[in-house]
Amino acid sequence: MTQPYERTGFEHPTRRQLRDERRSGALAELIATAALALSTIVAATVVSIGIARASAAGALLENEGSVFAIALLLGLVFIGMSGIGVLMLPGSRRE
């Protein structure tokens, strides 16, 4: 026959003693942060190498500079429209 547990269910966090949970949680956060930083560095390196090898901007400017100029102009227009939209928000006025 099994012995009944003395403390079943959940306890309030302040009444429960934390032994190794803080240390293991901090170690897991440290490992996750290091892995995320390493992954970001690797991704940035791969993208940079890909852009350098493709040289897509140079090829685009050589062949179709007018299309690039129109795309750039439309991008600036959209940025300006979003800035005007932000200024029109009700909470953004200063009196």
Tens place of pLDDT for every residue, the chain, 95 residues?
566 656 666 666 565 565 656 677 788 889 999 999 999 999 999 988 887 777 766 666 677 777 778 888 999 999 999 988 888 877 755 55
Is residue 11 domain-resident? Answer: no
How many domains, the chain?
2
Is residue 10 domain-resident? Answer: no
Q: Are residues 72 and 95 in the same domain?
A: yes
Is residue 71 domain-resident? Answer: yes
Is residue 16 domain-resident? Answer: no
Contacts of 92 (CB under 8 A, 6+ apart): 86
What is the structure's pLDDT at 92?
54
Residue 56 and residue 68: Cα distance in Å, rounded? 12
Return phi, psi of residue 82, to 5°: -70, -35
Domain interval for residue 80: 65-95
C-alpha distance from residue 88 to each of 47, 76, 83 (Å) = 37, 19, 9
Return phi, psi of residue 94, to 5°: -115, 125
Q: Are residues 69 and 95 in the same domain?
A: yes
What is the structure's pLDDT at 16?
57
Is residue 36 domain-resident? Answer: yes
Is residue 9 domain-resident? Answer: no
Is residue 25 domain-resident? Answer: yes
Q: Are residues 27 and 49 in the same domain?
A: yes
Burial 16-52 (b: 16+ CB within 10 A, else e): eeeeeeeeeeeeeeeeeeeeeeeeeeeeeeeeeeeee
